[in-house]
């Protein structure tokens, strides 16, 4: 019985946490949030050096060859600091190439992706919230490997050297150097820490990948859940810290029982969910039969908690939390992203009901 993180995992969290404490203070975070591209090359490079970008790439391809649980505990820390940039799409695409790429594809891409010298992303959503593999309509013609059509809410497509695309039938294909044949329309993003755009493929060459859209979807759900846990937990911390420094009516506001009970209730909503994302990640690594349902439950549950925590933390701060420059809003907006990206919680609750056999599909 060992349901806790290994020394190595704790050390990994700690290293990333310290990096982000040092390199991503509130002011810098807001600068990136407000920037045109939502990316910080220096931070990217630091994460690459730490191995974070190649966490799921095998060692023989320059990665550190760890599993989803490791990636998820790092994602918790990224969420804790609302770390900006293309990491989510990059990590997911790296996983798909590592698990489904040919030897040649793996050779070509994984070392550069792990080193951060190339960037990867995923293109999954279609219009009207069609995030799930069985809803994808983008077709690969029988005549051969060319894509034509649109995908939306694609993470950082203009920066991507390689892109994993979900296609009709729930399969995945690989598009190399997509910029040459793809039109990108940037969207005005609520969450300045994760930018998305609409893309249109026009006879874009692609190659098959031997891993499924379902598996990539589950990976995304786990990483979003982990990110959301880190973010939600941080919202609790930020609200508590504020309550311990702010005075009103001659008292610390944290000494008012009304606020104390609200913060206690909030902590009770959030804190127990830590093991839920751990287990979903562990199932992804080791228990394939449980993995899809646990990923759905974790994503639905924790992302709802994150939005709730973001709203409660804002209220606990009063006016200052409502300002752009104080920066608390970054977490609330990240919470909305985590909740919506890959499908809203009610969609995954419904999926979990179907997988449990409660309902016809």
Please report, as ranges, the residues that interact with a second copy according to CB under 8 A. 256-258, 260-261
Please give the Cα distance from 88 to 193 (Å, whole number).
Answer: 11
Q: H/E element holding 196? A: strand 196-205
120-24-70 Cα angle (round to 5): 50
> Which is closer to a second copy, CB of 71 or CB of 239?
239
Of 68, 47, 75, 51, the residue nearest 338 (C-alpha):
75
Cβ atoms of 216 and 201 within 8 Å: the answer is no
- Token pair recorded at residue 313: 């933390």
Ramachandran angles phi, psi of 139, nearest 5°? -100, 145
Q: In angstroms, rounded to a whole number, what is the distance separating the alpha carbons of residues 245 and 204?
A: 56
Q: How far is the CB of 204 from other proteins (least distance, A)?
A: 23
| Residue closer to a second copy (CB basis): 64 or 267 | 267
CB of 297 to a second copy, least distance (A): 23
CA angle at residue 306 from 301 to 307, to 5 degrees?
105
Nearest to 86 by CA among 188, 174, 196, 4: 196
Q: Which is nearer to other proteins, 41 or 268 (CB)?
A: 268
Which of a second copy, other proteins, none binds 16 (CB below 5-8 Å, type-dependent)? none
Handedness of CA 276, 280, 282, 287 (dihedral sign): positive
Q: CB under 5 to 8 A by kind: which of other proteins, a second copy, none does 244 bind? A: other proteins
Which of residues 206 and 291 has its CB atom nearest to other proteins in the complex?
291
- Partner touching 321 among other proteins, a second copy, none, CB below 5 to 8 Å by kind: other proteins
For a second copy, which is the closer residue by CB, 250 or 258? Answer: 258
Provide, rounded to whole angstroms, the least separation between the CB of residue 240 and other proteins.
Answer: 5
* Alpha-carbon gap, residue 170 to 134, rounded angstroms: 5
Selection from a second copy, other proteins, none that 329 binds (CB < 5 to 8 A by kind) is other proteins
Q: How far is the CB of 71 from other proteins (least distance, A)?
A: 14
Q: Which does 359 bind (CB under 5 to 8 A by kind): a second copy, other proteins, none?
A: other proteins
Contact 162, 204 (CB under 8 A): no
DSSP lists the bridge partners of residue 182 as: 201
CB of 235 to a second copy, least distance (A): 21
Nearer to other proteins, 31 or 261 (CB): 261
Considering the complex, state which of residue 165 and residue 270 has its C-beta at the smaller distance from other proteins: 270
Least separation, in Å, of the C-beta of 158 and other proteins? 17
Contact 172, 164 (CB under 8 A): yes
Radius of gyration, alpha carbons of the chain: 20
Shortest distance, position 264 Cβ to a second copy, whole Å? 9
- Give 3's contacts (C-beta < 8 A, 6+ positions apart): 275, 278, 279
Q: Which CB, 202 or 241, lies closer to other proteins?
A: 241
In angstroms, what is the minimal distance from the CB of 258 to a second copy?
4
List the single partner that 207 binds among other proteins, a second copy, none, CB under 5 to 8 Å by kind: none
Which element (helix H / strand E) includes 204? strand 196-205
């Amino acid at each position: 019985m060992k349901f806790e993180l290994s020394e190595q995992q704790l050390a990994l969290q700690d290293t990333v946490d310290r990096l982000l404490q040092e390199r991503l203070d509130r002011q810098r975070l807001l600068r990136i949030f407000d920037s045109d591209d939502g990316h910080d090359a220096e931070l990217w490079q630091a994460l690459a050096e730490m191995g974070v970008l190649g966490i799921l790439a095998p060692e023989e391809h320059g990665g550190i060859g760890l599993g989803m649980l490791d990636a998820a505990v790092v994602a918790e820390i990224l969420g804790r600091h609302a770390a900006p940039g293309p990491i989510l799409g990059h990590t997911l695409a790296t996983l798909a190439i590592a698990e489904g790429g040919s030897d040649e594809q793996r050779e070509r891409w994984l070392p550069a992706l792990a080193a951060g010298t190339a960037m990867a992303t995923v293109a999954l959503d279609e219009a009207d919230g069609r995030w799930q593999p069985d809803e994808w309509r983008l077709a690969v013609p029988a005549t051969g490997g060319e894509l034509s059509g649109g995908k939306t809410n694609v993470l950082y497509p203009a920066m991507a050297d390689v892109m994993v695309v979900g296609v009709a039938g729930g399969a995945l294909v690989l598009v190399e150097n997509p910029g040459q044949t793809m039109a990108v329309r940037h969207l005005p993003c609520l969450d300045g820490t994760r930018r998305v755009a609409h893309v249109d493929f026009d006879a874009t060459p692609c190659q098959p990948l031997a891993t499924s859209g379902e598996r990539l979807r589950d990976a995304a759900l786990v990483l979003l859940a982990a990110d959301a846990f880190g973010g939600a937990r941080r919202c609790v911390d930020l609200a508590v810290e504020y309550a311990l420094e702010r005075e009103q009516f001659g008292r610390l506001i944290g000494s008012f029982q009304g606020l104390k009970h609200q913060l206690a209730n909030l902590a009770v909503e959030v804190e127990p969910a830590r093991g839920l994302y751990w287990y979903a990640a562990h199932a992804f690594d080791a228990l394939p039969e449980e993995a899809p349902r646990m990923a759905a439950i974790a994503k639905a549950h924790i992302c709802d908690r994150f939005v709730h925590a973001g709203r409660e933390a804002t209220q606990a701060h009063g006016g200052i939390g409502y300002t752009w420059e104080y920066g608390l809003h970054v977490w609330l907006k990240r919470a909305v992203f985590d909740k919506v990206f890959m499908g809203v919680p009610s969609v995954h609750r419904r999926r979990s009901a179907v997988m449990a056999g409660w309902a016809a599909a």
